[in-house]
Amino acid sequence: MRADRLLRIILLLQRHPRLSARELAERLEVSTRTVMRDMEALSAAGVPVYTERGRNGGCVLLPGYRADVSGLTPREAQALFAWTGPALSEELGLRDALQSAMGKLSATLPVRLQDEAEALSGSIVVDRRRWFAEAEDNGALPVLRQAVVNRRRVRLRYASATDGKPVRRTVDPWGLVEQAGRWYLVGTHRGSPRMFRVSRVASVDVLDEVADRPAGLDLRAEWGRLRSGLEELNRPVGVDVVVRARPSEAGVFRRIAAPMLVSGGPVREVPAEGDDWTRLAMRFRVRQAACAVLLGFGSDVEVLEPPDLRAELLRRAREAVEVYG
């Protein structure tokens, strides 16, 4: 819609003192001729925009002008109030700032839009914690956020998954990534791109040195490369399993096994064969996790397939008897 495009032009020129018509056209995905017509329309409507010719010319908005965002549509207002939930902002140390900002935004909205947006916001809860998982300790997150914004190098006391105690690492922070309830710092250590789980950061010292952050860095793409490399390096050996479970324990077994299955499920029920036990089929992400869960149910859950997993469970059970017998 043209009204949306006109507002975007104003917001872009508020952020950038001067943009060429070609730059605006690329950002808005329209032609330069359309941009020039939009500039004329804004000027005719009283918005203080003008164009400057010449090598260093471009489209300019008079300094100090601010757009009225009361032109938000109902869907746009709902999207803003639903997306800006309290959980992320609190972890980042921005809860009070978010509340203040949303209060200012609310003051510019018509009452009907405020009611609709707040109704949606109050009807959605985002729980990012995984089932049966404890909350992560992300106390270092606000400091890291500020270091990223200010482009400052940091010195971490960091305990990796393999280190027994925290060690010092100097990092050039690039950005922060929230993945399934876990926060990661992405940056470079000794010149190599790395990811650092925030809950493993014991302490942070922000240095006066400017962080080395490549121009034009695409954080999303860099995170994708790091994640793909880690997943490929540590790709677990999964296993397809068919079990028979005592009916009284089948529901509990489903709940316990679900977080350990490929993509979170599914657990499929298969036809019974001559008894009243429940037969279930599933694929575990990690073979060791399958062994742990299945052994934990003792005689209430029996593995039918595959035969090599039955043999492994028997071996592990005998070893456990030797230890605890």
184, pLDDT greater than 70 = yes
> With respect to CATH, is domain 141-233 assigned 2.60.120?
no
Q: pLDDT band at residue 219, thresholds of 50, 70 and 90?
A: very high
pLDDT in tens, 259-289: 888 875 678 888 877 788 999 999 998 888 8
- Within the chain, where are the H helices? 2-15, 21-28, 32-44, 74-83, 86-91, 95-107, 111-121, 141-150, 219-233, 247-257, 287-296, 307-324
Cβ-in-10-Å burial (0-12, 13-18, 19+) of 98 comes to middle
133, pLDDT greater than 60 = yes
Question: Which CATH number applies to 239-324: 1.10.3470, 3.30.70, 2.60.120, 2.60.40?
Answer: 3.30.70
What is the mean pLDDT of the segment spanning 187-201?
A: 94
Q: What is the mean pLDDT of the chain?
A: 85
Q: What does pTM read for this prediction?
A: 0.60
Question: Which CATH number applies to 2-61: 1.10.10.10, 3.30.310.220, 1.10.600.10, 3.30.1360.120?
Answer: 1.10.10.10
Nearest CA-CA partner of 175 in 137, 229, 213, 129: 213
Q: pLDDT band at residue 63, thresholds of 50, 70 and 90?
A: confident
Tokens 């059970």: give the residue.
317
pLDDT in tens, 155-183: 999 998 777 789 999 999 999 998 888 89
Cβ-in-10-Å burial (0-12, 13-18, 19+) of 18 comes to middle
Strand partners, 240: 283
pLDDT in tens, 10-62: 878 887 878 898 899 998 888 989 999 889 988 888 888 888 887 767 899 88
Tokens 């997993």: give the residue.
309
